[in-house]
Structure formats: C-alpha cells, structure tokens
Amino acid sequence: MLQRWAAGADMVCAVHQERADESWLKRVGTRWFYRVVNAGSHVPITAEGSDFRLLDRRVVDALVGLPERNRFMKGLYAWVGFKTEFMKYVPDARAELRLQLLAYETATGREPDHLDGHQHVHHLPGIRGLLAEVLARRPSLRVRCTGSVLGPGAAFKRWVFASTGGRALTHQLLAKSQAQNLRLLGFYDFVQADYRALMVAWLAAMPPNGALLFCHPGQSADAGGDDPIAAARVRELAYLQGDFFTADLQAASVELA
C-alpha cells in the first residue's frame, strides 16, 4: 500500500479476492446491493472493496469536510473522487481473531473475561467455527449471545440478529456447556431520547434467572466525529451515572452481577 501511495495513488483500497468465508446469502446480498446502488449512478462503488484503505491527507481532509453524519463510507470514498488503486487480498478471520486476542493480552496482561464481536458478527456462520476453536483452548471464556433478544421495541432488529446466527450460536455453546447469556436486553434504535423509559421497560422484562443487558455509554469528548450514535452514548452515560439508575434497579428488584 505504501509503495502504491508513493507511486502516486491518493487512496489504496484492499479488495476481497474471494469470499469463501461468507455464507451464500451474504454473497448474493452483497452482489445485489451494489447492483442496486450503482444503477444509474455516475459514481460507481466497487462491490469487492473493503474499509481497509490507505488514505492520503488530501483524501482525509475531503472526507472530514463532508456534512454527512450517518456515513456510508464506501460511497463517500468514491464520491470524493481521488485517484484510487485496488489491491487484492484474502481475508483471514482466524489470524485476525488471534491477533486481537494477543493485542488484548499484551495490553492488559491477562486473557479477556468474555468474547463478542462488534455488531454481533461473532454469531455469523463464517465466524462461529473460528470462535469454537478459540473456546476449545480457552473454556473459561464467556460469550455474548443474541439467540434470545428480549423487548420491548426494535422487534425487527431483534429478529434479524437472532435469525442470522444468534440462535445457532446459542445451540452450539449449549452443546459444549460453554458459559453464555441465555437472554439479552438493550436493543433499540438509538433515536429515542428517553433512555430511562427504555431501561425501565428492559428491567421489567428481566427473567427471574437474569439476563445480559448491554449498553453503549460514552463521553461527549470521545463520542463525536464519525460515530453515528454519539448523542445516544452521552444520554446513556448521563443516566447510568445518575441516581435514577440505582432507583430503577431497586424498584425492579434487579441486582447487577
């Protein structure tokens, strides 16, 4: 990438040489998505392109100057219109998972307490098998599961995560007696401003044997930039740090583990 940039490219993009690690549904969906997006467009987007790119400072400045907040980055990379070169690569999820674990253990001096994936990708068909390999060597690790996501609200979003691999991962872990959460709470659209009302509803839906409730708090200083849920992070942090959270836990007879 550095060599191509030094030779004059403003942007060097890694493109998938193959998608053997993806399900047929993912491959077909990707193909049709880009066909629809590129239909009639004068700024075509490369279907095989990834977000792994080397960007010249001029490209970065152009992207930062765009007004969009909820960003479709592959479209914006094409929109700014700089000289781009493509470099084929074969993604190696197994090596990536190993490197991420090594980075965590190097930074903290210990192995993690649990494993999950950004936007729940660890339950997808191509990743579940790799996860099983890791857990076979590290049986004490807990796994966040999306096989049963409780409401209220966000019904379609909850169904998507459970159906695209959440339930399959739950069954896989149960067969191996691997530690996991059997219920998950905390899904919403990040738009609703009254986070306390959401939390009260989730606590009311808490089953007697407990569940994992996940949240996304952040400070205004580090939740800005390109983060599409920055405002939601600030609202969540304010509630979780305040007195209402403790009061709502007590009212629902829920204890944090």
Token pair 């193909």 in the structure block, residue:
31
Task: Quote the CA–CA distance of 109 and 65 in Å, as a whole number.
Answer: 40
**Is the CB of residue 180 less than 8 Å from the CB of residue 143?**
yes
Report the alpha-carbon distance of residue 67 to residue 69 in Å, rounded. Answer: 7
What is the number of other CB atoms lying within 10 angstroms of the CB of residue 146?
25
* Per-residue pLDDT, 223: 46
- Token code pair at residue 193: 């401003």
Contact 144, 184 (CB under 8 A): yes
Q: What angle do CA 160, 162, 165 make, to 5 degrees?
A: 100
Q: End-to-end alpha-carbon separation of the chain, Å?
A: 47
Q: What is the mean pLDDT of the chain?
A: 85
The span from the CA of 216 to the CA of 237, in Å, is 8
Asked if residue 39 has pLDDT above 90, the reply is no
What pLDDT digit, counting tens, does each position of 218-245 carry? 887 554 467 788 889 999 999 999 999 9
Structure pTM? Answer: 0.63
What gap in Å lies between CA 200 and CA 194, rounded to an integer? 10
pLDDT digits (tens, 9 = 90+) for 127-161: 888 888 888 888 888 999 999 999 888 889 889 88
pLDDT digits (tens, 9 = 90+) for 170-218: 999 999 888 899 899 999 999 999 999 999 999 999 999 999 998 999 8
Question: Nearest 5 degrees, angle CA 131-CA 146-CA 100?
Answer: 35
- Check if the beta carbon of residue 10 is closer than 8 Å to that of residue 82: yes
Say how far apart CA 216 and CA 222 lie, in whole Å. Answer: 12
Q: Which residues pair with 184 in a beta bridge?
A: 149, 212
The DSSP code sequence of 119-181 is: GGGGGSHHHHHHHHHHHHH-TT-EE---SSB--SS-HHHHHHHIIIIIHHHHHHHHHTT--B-
Instruction: Give the start-to-end residue ranges of the domains of the chain.
Output: 2-89, 92-181, 188-257
At residue 216, the pLDDT reads 92
- DSSP helix/strand/coil, 122: helix
List CB contacts of 137: < 8 A, sequence separation 6 or more. Answer: none
Whole-angstrom distance, CA of residue 23 vs CA of residue 20: 8
